């Protein structure tokens, strides 16, 4: 049993702060009274040492490469579960009974259609708009259509809006793709699974029957599971911060999508595949590894490194296995996969990457699979957003249900000019 208090000696005073323990993971020092007691703030840009909330959803041990959702290891969920079951688990805390899973799947399926007027929003975008630009706009716009589920103090409203978001995201993402390639939008088919329906809305056309390939359906469902939640990452923290002001859930998830778009976060899957194509052949790998190590070159190995994982990202392990399965089932091969395998091996044997504990992350192999399935690179991050919506809404619900929840309001270390008097323009 360790100490229950941490002591801070500063400016001649001694202050004690309670040490709190969770079920797993590092203890935290509760510094909520720090400012009141000392007049000082903590300073932690990038939040590398700051726990911003309590959460019972997801646990990561970055040193050991462990990822648990509600206690269940990601490898077990990816192998035995389905995306709908993981969504239920994250939202409700427990694996559902067979009946509860059927009910949940039925409910999600019944919310897959979009308000018809939302179609017109798409016409406002250029045909070459990035799907993430459309996702931000269309998801934010949902708040203008579903007024009957935006009273965030009502748990039933929160539940309905969460279900709507999870259900409509595949429709919105598939429509973004169809709009880009000039094909008619496909309406959802509720006889299909969540993932099968998404595949049909993306790759099917109204003129023909679409047959869902079960191996592709399973692989994509697994990719959705791998992306469903990842504790307090940048986009989830964005959703929580937006939600802490009382904003409606559709607006909060639109904020999360905007944050996810960046290449350091969800945009890395697109950037990783572009990088693998640019490398092109195994012979050019050493040149790119040298660039990644060069401090004067901003280039980084995309799909490598992680703020939390200082070991192999457990999602990357599943991802690598899934690439092989999809390639076998579709009878395809892609030289880019060979480049990825060799790049990984060379990097993992290079002192720079070993010392900095840089390992492949979830995005390193996901692009290779998504591209084999037929998705263009621009859709990769949209698929990440689709899957992460489950985590976002679960985290948002957890936050709003907490009676101690307050608006998120970080402080700062001000480095601008001290107070000075205004100088009229003719005197400057
Ligand atoms: N290639 C080369 N060097 C790297 C890389 C990389 N991919 N990642 C980190 N480093 C170096 C970095 O230069 C720094 O070196 P030094 O200590 O000498 O200055 C050191 O490793 C620590 O990096 P950091 O940027 O301080 O670490 P961070 O925790 O702030 O950043 C990261 C984490 C994921 C943004 C970063 O590793 C990165 O940019 N990776 C490439 C983008 C990527 O794959 N992102 C996907 C993350 S997983 C999916 C998701 O959560 O969205």
pLDDT in tens, 181-237: 999 999 999 999 999 999 999 999 999 999 999 999 999 999 999 999 999 999 999
Split at pLDDT 50, 70, 90, the class of 272 is very high
CA 392 to ligand 1 centroid distance, Å: 23
277 is catalytic: no
Q: Is pLDDT at 365 greater than 60 in this prediction? A: yes
DSSP 360: B
Contacts of 312 (CB under 8 A, 6+ apart): 65, 359, 360
Minimum CA distance residue for ligand 1 atom 17? 356
Q: Can you give the pTM of this predicted structure?
A: 0.93
Pairing state of beta strands 28-29 and 58-61? unpaired
The residues that bridge with 7 in the sheet, in sequence order, are 16
Q: Cα–chain-centroid distance for residue 254?
A: 12
As given in the structure block, the two tokens for residue 20 are 């709190």
Which among 279, 305, 314 is the best mutation to test ligand 1's pocket, defined by most ligand atoms within 8 Å of the CB?
A: 305
Residues whose beta carbon lies within 6 Å of some atom of ligand 1: 230, 233, 264-266, 268, 292, 300-307, 356, 358, 361-363
pLDDT value of residue 334 = 86
**In 70-205, which ranges are E strands?**
72-73
Q: Is pLDDT at 123 greater than 80 in this prediction? A: yes
Q: Which atom of ligand 1 is nearest to the CA of 313?
A: 48
Round the CA-based radius of gyration of the chain to a whole number and report it.
23
Minimum CA distance residue for ligand 1 atom 26? 307
pLDDT value of residue 378 = 92
Mean local confidence (pLDDT), 128-146: 95
- Residue 30 CA to residue 47 CA, distance in Å, equals 15
> What is the enclosing helix (H) or strand (E) of 317?
helix 314-330
- Residue 388 CA to residue 166 CA, distance in Å, equals 9
363 is catalytic: yes
List the catalytic residue out of 102, 363, 402, 421.
Answer: 363
Split at pLDDT 50, 70, 90, the class of 2 is low
- Residue 327 CA to residue 216 CA, distance in Å, equals 10
pLDDT in tens, 52-105: 999 999 999 999 999 999 999 999 999 999 999 999 999 999 999 999 999 999
List the catalytic residue out of 69, 88, 230, 306.
Answer: 306
CA 203 to ligand 1 centroid distance, Å: 34
> What is the enclosing helix (H) or strand (E) of 275?
helix 268-279
């Amino acid at each position: 049993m360790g100490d229950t208090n941490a002591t801070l000696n500063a400016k001649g005073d001694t202050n004690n702060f309670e040490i709190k323990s969770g079920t797993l993971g590092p203890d935290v020092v509760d510094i909520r009274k720090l400012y009141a007691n000392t007049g000082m703030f903590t300073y932690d840009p990038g939040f590398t040492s700051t726990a911003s909330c309590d959460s019972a959803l997801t646990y990561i041990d970055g040193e050991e490469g462990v990822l648990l959702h509600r206690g269940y290891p990601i490898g077990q969920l990816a192998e035995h579960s389905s995306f709908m079951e993981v969504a239920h688990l994250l939202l409700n805390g427990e694996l559902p009974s067979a009946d509860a899973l059927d009910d949940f799947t039925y409910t999600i399926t019944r919310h897959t259609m979009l308000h018809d007027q939302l179609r017109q929003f798409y016409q406002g975008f250029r045909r070459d708009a990035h799907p993430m630009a459309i996702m931000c706009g269309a998801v934010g716009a949902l708040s203008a259509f579903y007024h009957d589920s935006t009273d965030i103090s009502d748990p039933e409203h929160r539940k309905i809006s969460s279900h709507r978001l999870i259900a409509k995201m595949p429709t919105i993402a598939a429509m973004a793709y169809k709009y880009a390639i000039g094909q008619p939008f496909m309406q959802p088919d509720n006889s299909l699974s969540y993932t099968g329906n998404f595949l049909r809305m993306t790759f099917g056309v109204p003129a023909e029957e679409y047959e869902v390939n079960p191996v592709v359906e399973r692989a994509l469902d697994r990719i959705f599971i791998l992306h469903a939640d990842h504790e307090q990452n940048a986009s989830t923290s964005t959703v929580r911060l937006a939600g802490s002001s009382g904003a409606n859930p559709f607006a909060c998830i639109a904020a999360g999508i905007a944050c996810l778009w960046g290449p350091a976060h969800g945009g890395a899957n697109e950037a990783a595949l572009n990088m693998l194509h640019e490398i092109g052949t195994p012979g050019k790998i050493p040149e790119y590894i040298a660039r990644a190590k060069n401090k004067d070159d901003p280039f980084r190995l995309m799909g490598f490194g992680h703020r939390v994982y200082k070991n192999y990202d457990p999602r990357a392990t599943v991802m690598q296995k899934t690439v092989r399965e999809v390639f076998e089932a579709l009878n395809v091969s892609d030289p880019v996969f060979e480049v990825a395998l060799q790049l990984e091996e060379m990097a993992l044997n290079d002192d720079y990457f070993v010392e900095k504990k840089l390992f492949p992350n979830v995005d390193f192999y996901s692009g290779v699979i998504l591209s084999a399935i037929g998705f263009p690179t621009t859709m990769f991050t949209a698929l990440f957003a689709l899957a992460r919506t489950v985590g976002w809404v679960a985290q948002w619900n957890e936050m709003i249900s907490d009676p101690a929840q307050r608006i998120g309001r970080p402080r700062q270390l001000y480095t601008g000019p001290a107070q000075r008097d205004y100088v009229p323009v003719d005197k400057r």
